[in-house]
Amino acid sequence: DGTTALHHATARGDAEAVSILLAAGANPRLRTQFGQTPLHFASLAKNTIIANKLILAGGHVDATDNASESALHFSTRLNDVAMVYTLMCHSASADLANLLGQTPLHIAARASPPAITTLLIQASQNLSTTDFQGENPLHVSVKHQNV
């Protein structure tokens, strides 16, 4: 399924194993059959320490999976303010759209804490991007009463 030892160590939150694997030459850009990199796994595990290690070792902060979702999409959906901040500090793009045309800001507009929405608004180059339903983040926010 393409899941490597680095993916497994990341999913377990084992920062020491991640460090050892990276030092031994593990590739932080390898993908599972679903296109997920270890950074996606770090986002799912809500582990900013491992995320930093992966990015500093060459992990691509804007890598997208088979659904065109980046680690920032995952972290936004999980309402993980610390991970969103960490990814933004490494210049993650707030404007990448997934297969539904949704940027992380579209996802945040549904129910995320104001801190995430603010970070994404500050980083976005285009606040009026519409998804495949023709909705921009403001439409989504009003629709889900998250204003």
Q: Domain 1-60: what homologous superfamily?
A: Ankyrin repeat-containing domain (1.25.40.20)
Give pLDDT, residue 144.
62
Q: Where in the chain is the domain with CATH 1.25.40.20?
A: 1-60, 62-147
Mean confidence (pLDDT) of the chain: 93
Average pLDDT over residues 42-65: 98
pLDDT band at 146 (very low <50, low <70, confident <90, very high): low
Quick one: CATH architecture of 62-147?
Answer: Alpha Horseshoe (1.25)
Pick the residue with more confidence: 56 or 108?
A: 56
The tens digit of pLDDT for each residue in 83-92 reads 999 999 999 9
Residue with the larger pLDDT of the pair 130 and 82: 82
Cβ contact 137:118 at 8 Å? no
Q: Which pLDDT score, from 0 to 100, does residue 22 have?
A: 99
Q: Is the pLDDT of residue 142 over 80?
A: no
The residues, any chain, with a CB within 8 Å of residue 43's CB and separated by 6 or more, are 51, 71, 72, 74, 75, 78, 80, 83, 87
pTM as predicted: 0.92
